[in-house]
Every structure is written in C-alpha cells, then in structure tokens.
C-alpha cells in the first residue's frame, strides 16, 4: 500500500472558547502537560508504519497550538523530526497574544515554516462579537513578531458576514492585510452557524441574523480586493501569492490520505476513515483509542470529490459527476440537467473535460455541488 505523506495534529487547548467554533476544544486546565505531549508521540509511534519516510505536509491545528509552551513544542518536534525534511510544509495555527519574539524564534528553529494566524478581524466591535480575546493591534504586533522571527510564509485568517460588519469595516480589514501587513496567504471565511455552538443558539433565538445578499457582497468584495493585490483565488475561501498555496489543504481537497494525531483528530488511510477519541483526559490514557470507523466506498469518494474539488481553481473532472454504479459518457453528462441548465445560467463552464465555477457560481458553490451529486 502507498505511504501517507500528510499528517495533522490536533491541539485542543484554548484560553477562551469562541462562540462560533465547532471544533473539539477546551481550556488547558491541567491537561496541557508533559503527559499530553507524550500521548501524541505515543500515538505517532503506534501508527507511524503508514507514514512515508518524510512527510510532504505537517499541520498543527486546534484549538490553539501556539498555547503550547516552548518546552512542550520542542519536545513534540524532537519526536516529529525524523519525519520532517527541509521540503516539508510545517504549519502551526497561532493566535495573536499567545507568543512573544523569543517563542516565535523557537517555533522557527524547531522546524515550523508556515504560520496560520487567527486574526478574524482588526475591528474592536467585530472581535467582541466573535468573542476573541485579542485586539486588532495585538494581531498587527503578532504578525510583525513572526516576520522578525524569520517566518516568510504567513497566512492570515479573516471572517466576513459577521453581524454588525459593514462593507466599509470589511474593506478596512482587507486594506490592512494587503497594504500594511502583506502576508503570503489569506483565508477568508463566511461565518456560518455550526451545530453545538453558542452562535447557533443565538441565531435560532433571533439575536444573530443571516443574510445571503450580505454574504455574497462581502465575498465578492474580498475576491476583487485580494486578486487586485496579487493573490490567486485558488479555492473558495483561500487566496495565495504564487507558490504559497497551502499544500496541506490541497491534499485534503484532492482526496489524499492523511494521518490524524491527537484527541478528536480524523485519519483517512487506505479507504478507512477513523476518529481519535475526542476526550483529552482519556486520550492521554489511551492515545490510540478510536471512536468512529468508516469504510469509504468509491461512491463516497466521488461525492467528496464533487464537494471539495469543485471549490478549487483546478475544477472537477466531468466524469466525477457520473455515479460509480452507472456508466456514462462525457457527452451524456454535458447534455444532462443540471449541468446544461447551470451552464446556460452562467454558473459553471466546461473546459478540457473539467467543470469550473464561474464568478457568479462561486457564491453558490455548495448548492451547485449538491445539484451535481
């Protein structure tokens, strides 16, 4: 079987629980300790046989991985070092105000070469709505610290369509990113109300609104501004300067296998999808315990390919639209509804036997994918 070139490590600790976040997370308490790092490395040792000799990408997400102490990060990376080469893309998600220059330099020295900085907004009122515990100035300072520490591949996370966010406030955020900070990559996410979050409850009570026209306007505002600043729009929510697209995320979008380590982490390996127990205390006791196992069929893979690859600049191969249980020709697909209808509406276009979203179609990526499935 082919080796796995991609690895994700979930660090669930957060100083403050954001009301919109649905990922497994909790305050550190007494769990952000040596035993937690040892459990991650124990799981790695137990499951390393599936990995390639050297990883193509390694991604530490959360939670807030930058909350780990410098000592814990150094210990973790001593165990990871055999799998990392100078060419490995090593990303750490970081929040402003969780590191200083000394810690940032240690992060760089141990092998982290890409930072995903969770800014979300530079506006005080918007940050308060989101429940973030940093200020816009904290975010700017954090970015400059990373630059001084030697990071030349930094992504900034932004969020739009937040209640109270106007086009002018969104433009201010975009201007700060492109004119002042100038990162290599930007992720721009439309706020959604996820299950098991405080925001969903507040939305259902009528306190927080949802507006599709606002979503679309702010989405196109980001496209126009970021593309004009030289960022390639290579996936619905992601923009990169040439050569700085996220290799790790691309692995997900193209259906590559990956190993997930840490509580709540998901792995997809050789057609099996499994989830590590999302309970940090129990994970420390039994690092390899899984709570979910799923065997992926070819039809599962086809549906996931439509959902993810249609969102990318490379588009979707037309034959992915054909059910795995029903042979069909490209000519048949082109004449079928909804493809013919969506082409006539200007939502998709066909080139080189691939389906691409048009500018108008990008704002409707999810319903278009659902129609193709």
Residue 300 CB neighbours (<10 A)? 14
Per-residue pLDDT of 193-221, as tens digits, reads: 777 777 878 877 877 778 888 999 999 99
Per-residue pLDDT of 176-195, as tens digits, reads: 999 999 999 999 999 887 77
Q: Where are the domains of the chain?
A: 6-253, 298-373
Taking a C-beta distance cutoff of 8 angstroms, is the pair 72, 34 a contact?
yes
Classify 19 as helix, strand or coil. coil
What is the model's pLDDT at position 373? 85
Q: Which ranges in 154-279 belong to alpha helices (H)?
A: 167-175, 198-204, 212-228, 247-253
Do you find a cis peptide bond into 201, omega within 30 degrees of 0?
Answer: no
Per-residue pLDDT of 38-79, as tens digits, reads: 999 999 999 999 999 999 999 999 989 999 999 999 999 999
- On average, the pLDDT of the chain sits at 92
Record the tokens describing residue 131, joined without a space.
């429940």
In the chain, the percentage of residues whose pLDDT exceeds 90 is: 77
pLDDT of residue 315 exceeding 70, the answer is yes
What is the model's pLDDT at position 210? 81
Angle value at C-alpha 290, between 289 and 291, nearest 5 degrees: 125
Q: Which ranges in 120-264 belong to alpha helices (H)?
A: 124-130, 136-148, 167-175, 198-204, 212-228, 247-253
pLDDT of residue 126 exceeding 90, the answer is yes
Verdict on whether the full-model pTM lies above 0.85: yes
What is the model's pLDDT at position 207? 79
Looking from the CA of 72 toward its CB, the CA atoms found within 13 Å total: 16
What is the model's pLDDT at position 98? 94
Classify 116 as helix, strand or coil. strand
Average pLDDT of the segment spanning 107-127: 97
What is the model's pLDDT at position 334? 67
Looking from the CA of 82 toward its CB, the CA atoms found within 13 Å total: 9
Task: Between 290 and 197, name the one with better pLDDT.
Answer: 290
Q: What is the C-alpha to C-alpha distance for residues 115 and 125, in angstroms, rounded to an integer?
A: 25
Distance of CA 154 to the CA centre of its chain: 14
Record the tokens describing residue 231, joined without a space.
């960022």
What is the model's pLDDT at position 101? 98
In the chain, the percentage of residues whose pLDDT exceeds 70 is: 94
Record the tokens describing residue 268, joined without a space.
């997809």
What is the model's pLDDT at position 272? 96
Average pLDDT of the segment spanning 130-135: 90
Average pLDDT of the segment spanning 335-341: 79
pLDDT of residue 325 exceeding 60, the answer is no
What is the model's pLDDT at position 37? 96
Q: What is the C-alpha to C-alpha distance for residues 65 and 63, in angstroms, rounded to an integer?
A: 6
pLDDT of residue 81 exceeding 70, the answer is yes
Classify 342 as helix, strand or coil. helix
Q: In what order do the strands lie in the sheet with 272-276?
A: 266-269, 272-276, 290-295
Residues in the chain: 373
Taking a C-beta distance cutoff of 8 angstroms, is the pair 16, 131 a contact?
yes
Q: What is the C-alpha to C-alpha distance for residues 283 and 65, in angstroms, rounded to an integer?
A: 17
Classify 256 as helix, strand or coil. coil
Q: Rounded to 5 degrees, what are φ and ψ at 269?
A: -140, 120
pLDDT of residue 2 exceeding 90, the answer is yes
What is the model's pLDDT at position 17? 67
Instruction: Give the CATH fold of the 6-253 domain.
Output: TIM Barrel (3.20.20)
Q: What is the C-alpha to C-alpha distance for residues 138 and 155, in angstroms, rounded to an integer?
A: 16
Q: Rounded to 5 degrees, what are φ and ψ at 244?
A: -115, 20
CATH number for the region 298-373 comes to: 1.10.10
């Amino acid at each position: 079987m082919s080796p796995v070139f991609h690895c994700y490590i979930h660090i669930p600790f957060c100083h403050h629980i954001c009301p919109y976040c649905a990922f497994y997370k909790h305050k550190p308490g007494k769990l952000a300790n040596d035993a937690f790092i040892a459990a991650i490395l124990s799981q790695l040792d137990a499951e390393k046989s599936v990995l390639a000799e050297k990883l193509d990408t390694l991604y530490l997400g959360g939670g807030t991985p930058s909350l780990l102490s410098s000592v814990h990060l150094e210990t973790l990376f001593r165990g990871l070092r055999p799998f990392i080469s100078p060419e490995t893309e090593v990303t750490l998600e970081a929040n402003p105000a969780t590191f200083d220059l000394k810690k940032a330099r240690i992060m760089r020295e141990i092998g982290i070469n890409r930072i995903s900085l969770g800014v979300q907004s530079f506006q005080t009122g918007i940050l308060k709505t989101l429940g973030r515990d940093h200020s816009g100035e904290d975010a700017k300072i954090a970015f400059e610290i990373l630059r001084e520490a030697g990071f030349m591949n930094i992504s900034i996370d932004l969020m739009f369509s937040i209640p109270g966010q106007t086009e002018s406030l969104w433009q201010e955020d975009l201007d700060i990113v492109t004119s002042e900070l100038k990162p290599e990559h930007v992720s721009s996410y439309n706020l959604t109300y996820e299950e098991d979050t405080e925001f969903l409850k507040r939305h259902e009570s009528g306190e927080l609104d949802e507006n599709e026209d606002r979503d679309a306007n702010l989405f196109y505002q980001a496209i126009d501004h970021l593309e004009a600043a030289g960022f390639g729009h290579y996936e619905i929510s992601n923009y990169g300067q040439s050569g700085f697209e996220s290799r790790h995320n691309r692995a997900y979008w193209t259906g590559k296998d990956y190993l997930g380590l840490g509580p709540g982490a998901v792995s997809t390996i050789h057609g099996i999808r499994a989830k590590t127990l999302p309970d940090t205390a129990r994970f420390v006791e039994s690092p390899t315990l899984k709570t979910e196992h799923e065997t992926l069929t070819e039809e599962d893979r086809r549906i996931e390919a439509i959902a993810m690859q249609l969102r990318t600049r490379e588009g979707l191969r037309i034959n992915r639209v054909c059910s795995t249980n029903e042979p069909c020709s490209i000519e048949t697909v082109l004449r079928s509804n909804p493809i013919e209808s969506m082409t006539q509406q200007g939502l998709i276009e066909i080139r080189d036997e691939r389906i691409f979203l048009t500018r108008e179609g990008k704002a409707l990526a999810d319903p278009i994918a659902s129609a193709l499935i």
